[in-house]
């Protein structure tokens, strides 16, 4: 494993282990199967027609996005209240937020594509959508806070506090948006119709998608967290090297 | 919480009076930031044209101008500290960070109140909205409670930006989404106070509750979190 | 066919974004790896 290959394939990574490769393979095969099921094997919905095929990818991405932020919040709490203030929890929080931002963006894109087909509009000021955007922006801010510099512990504390504040903020945002919308009912633009009567295979495909994307999330966070560990070690090593050079200069 | 030689409340009072005295003497707020808020109100009128629209959206415009101004005020509140590394000196002196936070927030509440007075007066003149006595009472309550929320969030995230030097650009990204509930609640309540968009006075008061919860929650959260966020 | 392009587009966007994230992550990992002692890689 340690031999330096002249032209490493873009799919090799030093963060891989036997277990993570196994998981990666399962995720890959699952994705292929999900795509086949979603695009070809399932029937069209009675109401939604073929647009229901977007659900098989939209619902899992949205689910992973929310899951990612829950993981970030929990990992931040475990860092803050853990006895050793372990940086591992901090890196898990960071990795999960990065993956979460990606999936939140994707769920907004796939959601608006789906909305265009079923509602006739890319965007609606629906409380859930609006809160999702706030969640997205809040966690972009969280990632920026992680980038502020300083020691690793400092980064962990700061971003931990910001993540926990976000847990307070988001319900308030959601609640106020719900109140806001309930006052200003506009002439209903095509009723948002999420209720789909699903036959067995459709329901299976949806649940299967959620499961596969959850495994994908776990796999991505696992690797990302290890890369962040390497990056932190580089920072520490860089400091050591700089100090060593400085000492050599003086002598 | 460690025991500090000076009580949290007296630290808060000292910081707040110091901040307000600096602003009073330097006049930067009155001579530069307040005119900025005024020109924003005029520009809104250009952008939206007149003819009734302005009257309907006046509450939202007032609160948008308040939020934009709050970004500048918050940045200034911490700029006066970081100029001489005064925040570090305060920390070295070992005073309670909760006190520093509360002091900063109180000073911000007072400054924001000044802005709201001016901006509401401007909207009465420029946007031709009408304010009854009952509306004025509601508006004062709303402004005060909204300010507590904005000031708490502002002091918290402003402190974070100031602790990481040169990264003040982060403030709007963190602050604006966080205070969105304040914008929504304050705007709806002000609609009632102005009597625009068919809103009655009674509809305004429930929003006051939301503002109060927001303010209380983040004042409490801020006293706990400020020390960690500004730590070196 | 609006529907088909939207549906295919949704799948493509998702897989491309995830793929780009993963490839970038792997490249970063390979770049860092040589400078790091094995003892700093707890998963090994």
Specify the range with the lowest mean pLDDT, choosing from A126-135, A179-188, B150-159.
A179-188
The total domain count for chain B is 1
- Closest residue in chain C to residue A111, using alpha carbons only: C10
Q: Which residues from chain A sit within 8 angstroms of residue B170, using beta carbons?
A: 141, 144-145, 148
- Check residue C37 and give its pLDDT: 75
The pLDDT confidence band at residue A186, using thresholds 50, 70 and 90, is very low
- Check residue A144 and give its pLDDT: 92
CA distance A132 to A104: 8
At residue B132, does pLDDT exceed 50? yes
Q: Name the average pLDDT for chain A.
A: 84
CA distance B9 to B95: 11
Please check whether residue B195 is in contact with residue B130, taking contact to mean a CB–CB distance below 8 angstroms: yes
Please check whether residue A227 is in contact with residue A94, taking contact to mean a CB–CB distance below 8 angstroms: no
The number of C-alpha atoms within 13 Å of A19 and in the hemisphere containing its C-beta is: 7
Inside any domain, residue B220: yes
CA distance B59 to B67: 13
Please check whether residue A170 is in contact with residue A135, taking contact to mean a CB–CB distance below 8 angstroms: yes
For chain C, the straight-line distance linking the first and the last C-alpha, in angstroms and rounded, comes to 51
Instruction: Give the other-Cβ count within 10 Å of B151's Cβ.
Output: 30
At residue C11, does pLDDT exceed 60? yes
Task: Determine what percent of chain B is predicted with pLDDT higher than 90.
Answer: 43
- In this predicted model, what pLDDT tens digit does every residue of B62-104 receive, in sequence order? 999 999 999 999 998 888 877 777 777 777 777 788 888 999 9
CA distance A52 to A198: 10
CB contact, 8 Å: B229 with chain A?
yes
How large is the average pLDDT for residues A23-32?
94
ipTM at complex level = 0.91
Inside any domain, residue B92: yes
- Check residue A160 and give its pLDDT: 93
- Tell whether the torsion through CA atoms of B109, B115, B118 and B124 is positive or negative: negative
Inside any domain, residue B150: yes
Q: Give, for A176, the enclosing helix (H) or strand (E).
A: helix A152-183
The pLDDT confidence band at residue A190, using thresholds 50, 70 and 90, is very low
CA distance B178 to B162: 18
Query: Distance, in angstroms, between A35 CA and closest chain B CA?
Result: 36
Inside any domain, residue B31: yes
Inside any domain, residue B123: yes
Inside any domain, residue B84: yes
CA distance A214 to A220: 10
- Check residue A25 and give its pLDDT: 93
Domain that holds residue B28: 8-229
Please check whether residue A71 is in contact with residue A99, taking contact to mean a CB–CB distance below 8 angstroms: no
Contact A61 C33 (CB under 8 A): no
Task: Determine what percent of chain C is predicted with pLDDT higher than 70.
Answer: 95
Q: Name the average pLDDT for chain B.
A: 87
List CB contacts of B25: < 8 A, sequence separation 6 or more. none
Inside any domain, residue B3: no
Q: In this complex, which of A8, A49, A113 lies closest to C9 when CB atoms are compared?
A: A113
The pLDDT confidence band at residue C44, using thresholds 50, 70 and 90, is confident
CA distance B154 to B102: 11
Inside any domain, residue B1: no
Q: Which residues from chain B sit within 8 angstroms of residue A176, using beta carbons?
A: 180-181, 184-185, 210
- Check residue B5 and give its pLDDT: 67
Give the best-scoring range by mean pLDDT among A34-38, A241-245, B3-7. Answer: A34-38
Strand partners, A49: A45
CA distance C18 to B153: 34
Instruction: Give the other-Cβ count within 10 Å of C13's Cβ.
Output: 17
- In this predicted model, what pLDDT tens digit does every residue of A96-153 receive, in sequence order? 999 999 999 999 999 899 888 888 888 888 888 888 899 999 999 999 999 888 888 8
């Amino acid at each position: 494993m340690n031999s330096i290959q002249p032209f490493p394939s873009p799919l090799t990574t030093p963060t891989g282990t036997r277990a993570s490769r196994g998981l990666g393979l399962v995720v890959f095969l699952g994705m292929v199967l999900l795509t086949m099921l979603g695009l070809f094997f399932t029937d069209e919905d009675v109401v939604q027609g073929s647009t229901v095929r977007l659900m098989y990818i939209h619902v899992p991405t949205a689910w992973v996005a929310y899951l990612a932020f829950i993981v970030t919040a929990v990992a931040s709490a475990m860092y803050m209240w853990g006895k050793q203030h372990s940086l591992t929890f901090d890196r898990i929080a960071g990795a999960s937020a990065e993956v979460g931002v990606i999936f939140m963006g994707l769920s907004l894109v796939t959601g608006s594509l789906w909305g265009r087909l079923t509602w006739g509009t890319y965007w609606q000021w629906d409380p859930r959508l609006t809160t999702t955007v706030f969640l997205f922006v809040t966690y972009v801010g969280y990632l920026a806070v992680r980038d502020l510099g300083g020691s690793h512990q400092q980064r962990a504390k700061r971003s931990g506090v910001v993540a926990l504040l976000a847990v307070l903020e988001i319900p308030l945002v959601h609640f106020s948006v719900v109140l806001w919308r309930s006052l200003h009912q506009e002439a209903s633009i095509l009723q948002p119709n999420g209720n789909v009567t699903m036959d067995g295979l459709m329901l299976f495909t949806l649940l299967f998608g959620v499961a596969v994307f959850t495994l994908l999330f776990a796999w991505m966070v696992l690797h990302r967290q290890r890369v962040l560990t390497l990056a932190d070690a580089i920072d520490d090593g860089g400091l050591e090297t700089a100090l060593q050079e400085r000492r050599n200069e003086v002598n | 919480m460690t025991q500090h030689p000076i009580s949290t409340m007296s630290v808060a009072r000292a910081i707040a009076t110091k901040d307000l005295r600096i602003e009073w003497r330097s006049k930067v707020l009155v001579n530069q930031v307040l005119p900025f808020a005024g020109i924003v109100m005029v520009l809104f009128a250009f952008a939206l044209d007149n003819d009734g629209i302005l009257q309907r959206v006046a509450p939202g415009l007032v609160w948008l101008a308040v939020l934009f101004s709050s970004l500048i005020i918050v940045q200034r509140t911490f700029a006066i500290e970081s100029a001489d590394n005064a925040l570090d000196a305060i920390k070295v002196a070992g005073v309670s960070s909760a006190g520093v936070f509360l002091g900063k927030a109180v000073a911000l509440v007072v400054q924001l109140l000044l802005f709201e007075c001016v901006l509401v007066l401007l909207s009465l003149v420029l946007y031709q909205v009408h304010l009854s006595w009952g509306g004025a009472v509601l508006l004062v309550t709303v402004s005060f409670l909204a300010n507590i929320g904005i000031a708490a969030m502002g002091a918290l995230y402003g402190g974070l930006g100031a602790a990481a030097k040169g990264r003040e650009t982060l403030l709007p990204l963190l602050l604006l989404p966080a205070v969105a509930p304040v914008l929504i609640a304050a705007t709806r309540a002000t609609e009632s106070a102005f009597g625009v968009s068919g809103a009655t006075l009674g509809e305004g008061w429930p929003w006051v509750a939301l503002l109060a919860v927001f303010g209380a929650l983040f004042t409490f959260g801020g006293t706990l979190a400020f020390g960690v966020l500004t730590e070196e | 066919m609006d529907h088909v392009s939207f549906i295919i587009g949704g799948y493509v966007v998702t897989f491309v974004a995830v793929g780009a994230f993963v490839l970038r992550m792997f490249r970063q990992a390979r770049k860092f790896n040589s400078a790091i002692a094995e003892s700093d890689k707890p998963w090994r």
